[in-house]
Chain A
Amino acid sequence: MMSLTLEGVVLIGALGLIVIGALGMAISNHLFRMLLALVLAESGANLLIVLSGYRVGASAPILGFGDPTAPMVDPVPQVLVLTAIVIGVGVQALAVALLLKVYRVYGTLNVRELRDRMDADVATAAGVEADASQDAPAGERPLPPVPAHASVGSGGFGRRGPVPFPPQSDERRP
């Protein structure tokens, strides 16, 4: 059993924030919640950097308060974090601006819907048919045979449906 020290406790806190932030960015479906998770991870990183300059039993790096002969904590990590926090809020505001713009153009912040709509936009700009499923094999790869109960005329590039092979829809291929 590890003994409970201040730096150990704070280390757990910093790591917890980083991991929760990374997890949130991985599992969120909503861009705004991703932004919140990013803020959490950034806070955890800042805490970790300040922790690296901590010295047990030392005083704050300001002269004129307390015992002048006592050791001081390392001030360099504090300086780095000081600017990083303010930069962080600037970057956060930039992210908010981008979210506003995305919402104005696409009308949603859900990651999956956004991907679908962006795909549709790209396909429209390229002048190709947009509704090809991502799961359907592309190009000239052979496809599994059509089950017997599939009626002859119903093949085609449906959203989820299987593409019949060999037959009757060859002329549709580019």
Chain B
Amino acid sequence: MTTWVALVVVVLMLASALAVLLLRSFVAAVAATAVVGLGLTVLFVLMRAPDVAMTEAAVGAGLSGVILALALRRLGLWRIEDNGRGDGDA
């Protein structure tokens, strides 16, 4: 049972990790990073590491996303999409 939960979470996590690289909008990519953090939290709980899970929940899904989103705001990439050539900041 636990194995199947882990399998679903791992698939979800790897899919959002790929989405981080493929999504054109930077805001969506940052949100996908936070999804990866949440998946990691579940996996840490399954690995019997509640302390690490707590840290990852506070940092990976919360603080890190906020820092990255704030950086987007300050870089002016908030609404602009990456057009695949990497010069979406013009």
Whether the complex brings A and B within 8 Å at their CB atoms is answered yes
The 9 A-B residue pairs with the shortest CB-CB distance, nearest first, are A29-B86, A13-B10, A30-B86, A96-B71, A60-B48, A16-B14, A110-B87, A20-B17, A24-B21
* A33 engages B6 (CB within 8 Å): no
Q: Choose among A16, A27, A47, A89 the residue that contacts B63 (Cβ–Cβ < 8 A).
A: A89
Which residue on chain B has the smallest CB distance to residue A88?
B59
Chain A CB within 10 A, most for which of B39, B67, B89, B90: B89
* A6 to B3 alpha-carbon distance, docked (Å): 5
Chain A residues, CB < 8 A from B71: 32, 96, 99-100
* A17 to B19 alpha-carbon distance, docked (Å): 12
* A60 engages B30 (CB within 8 Å): no
Q: How would residues 43 to 73 of chain B score, 1 for a CB under 8 Å from any chain A CB and 0 otherwise?
A: 1101111111001100110011001101110
Interface CB pairs A-B, < 8 A, 18: A13-B39, A17-B14, A20-B14, A20-B17, A35-B68, A36-B33, A39-B33, A54-B47, A60-B50, A62-B50, A82-B51, A85-B56, A85-B60, A86-B59, A100-B74, A109-B75, A110-B85, A111-B86
Interface residues on chain A, number (Cβ under 8 Å): 56
Say how far B14's CB is from chain A's closest CB, in angstroms. Answer: 5
* A4 to B89 alpha-carbon distance, docked (Å): 45
* A88 to B30 alpha-carbon distance, docked (Å): 16
Contacts between chains A and B (CB distance < 8 A), count: 153
Give the bracket for the number of chain B residues in contact with chain A: 35 or more
Chain B residues, CB < 8 A from A73: 47-49
* B75 engages A103 (CB within 8 Å): yes
Q: Is A50 positioned at the interface, with any CB of B under 8 Å from its CB? A: yes
Given contacts A12-B10, A43-B37, whether A89 and B48 have CB atoms under 8 Å apart is: no
Q: How would residues 107 to 120 of chain A score, 1 for a CB under 8 Å from any chain B CB and 0 otherwise?
A: 01111110000000
Residue numbers of B with Cβ under 8 A of A are 2-3, 6-7, 9-10, 13-14, 17-18, 20-21, 26, 29-30, 33, 36-37, 39-40, 43-44, 46-52, 55-56, 59-60, 63-64, 67-68, 70-72, 74-75, 77, 82, 85-90
Chain B residues, CB < 8 A from A43: 36-37, 40, 60
Say how far A119's CB is from chain B's closest CB, in angstroms. Answer: 17
Q: Is A46 positioned at the interface, with any CB of B under 8 Å from its CB? A: yes
* A16 to B4 alpha-carbon distance, docked (Å): 18
* B51 engages A6 (CB within 8 Å): no
Q: Is A58 positioned at the interface, with any CB of B under 8 Å from its CB? A: yes
